[in-house]
Amino acid sequence: MAKVRTKDLLEKFNFELVSGEDGIHRPIVTSDLSRPGLELAGFFDYYPAERVQLLGMTEMTFFSKLHPEEKESRMERLCHDTTPAIILSRGQDVPEQLIEASERNAVPVMRSNMTTTRLSSRLTNYLEGMLAPTTAVHGVLVDIYGVGVLITGQSGVGKSETALELVKRGHRLVADDCVEIRQEDEDVLVGSAPELIEHLLEIRGLGIINVMTLFGTGAIRGHKRITLNIHLENWDPKKQYDRLGIEEDKLKIIDTDITKITLPVRPGRNLAVIVEVAAMNFRLKRLGINTAKEFTNKLANVISEKDPDLL
């Protein structure tokens, strides 16, 4: 099913529908917009008909200088059977030739009072967000000191319980159990909760609780950019876990790699505090403060002073 249709633009931006009402359910397949200046001049060899067509003051001023036969021909070719919409900015008058062509070909023609540049910017931002690649991940997303932390792990390992403790410590829940992730831009992943389970948290033995009702609106967020993944797994005594934190693993989601930290779970470990500190340490690293590397450098200096032959 199409993610965005012309009707969605009509409702989102409160456009005025002038003609072509039969085509308001056409799908929009790309976030790219087209300003068909060359097409109005008669050059249709590379006409991107699948894009939303935006007519500004420049295009309409040029169009007004054409001969009547040319006006009718250009508008007929502009209203392609794959064109999702034609939008006029600045509240301009819609030419009669465009109205007639749009009715014949069921191409919605809409009008906005916004300037062309502002309209183009808002449309592009909206379409890029709606048409961004998406996926779903089993896990919990929490905003910890401004860091979007995606907590993953096997079912029953303690993800939701950790999230509950983090909420009690003043952090904000974004999603539990299922995290919907969309790649809004290169290296930008944004996570949110499905509408059905928004603000809800499942705790085994307790059931489903509403975080917003219990802790207030300050305990939840609608969406958050994901920059860190913390993977919880049951403690394996045979596995060698990272003791220094120098090497960084990566988790690939869609086309973006994010930092991954694996935390072993065993009785007596306060996972909420460890996850909180991991987020704080991640922020420090982004500011250029890497404690593990500083310790390693100091250790190397001490060894070289004691016995240079060991290096």
Residues belonging to the active site: 138, 159, 177, 243
CA distance 7 to 15: 10
Nearest to 5 by CA among 21, 27, 20, 32: 27
Strand partners, 202: 208
Q: Using an 8 Å Cβ cutoff, are 87 and 54 in contact?
A: yes
* 283 Cβ contact list (under 8 Å, min separation 6): 145, 146, 147
Residue 158 annotated as lining a ligand binding site: yes
Residue 19 annotated as lining a ligand binding site: no
- Per DSSP, 127 falls in state H
Residue 42 annotated as lining a ligand binding site: no
Residue 112 annotated as lining a ligand binding site: no
Residue 156 annotated as lining a ligand binding site: yes
CA distance 90 to 23: 23
Computed on alpha carbons and rounded to an integer, the radius of gyration of the chain in Å comes to 27
Residue 12 annotated as lining a ligand binding site: no
DSSP E strand boundaries for the chain: 16-19, 33-34, 52-55, 86-88, 109-111, 134-138, 140-144, 147-153, 172-175, 178-185, 188-192, 200-203, 207-210, 223-225, 228-234, 249-253, 256-265
Task: State both tokens at 40.
Answer: 């109005």
The distance in angstroms from the start CA to the end CA of the chain is 62
Residue 170 annotated as lining a ligand binding site: no
Residue tagged 């310790």 (tokens) = 295
Residue 218 annotated as lining a ligand binding site: no
Q: What are the Cα distances from residue 233, in Å, to 66, 236, 237, 251, 263? A: 70, 8, 12, 15, 6
Other beta carbons within 10 Å of 307: 9
Q: Using an 8 Å Cβ cutoff, are 159 and 153 in contact?
A: yes
Specify binding-site residues for Mg(2+): 160, 202
Question: Residues forming the annotated binding site?
Answer: 153-160, 202
Instruction: Detail the residues annotated as belonging to a binding site for ATP.
Output: 153-160
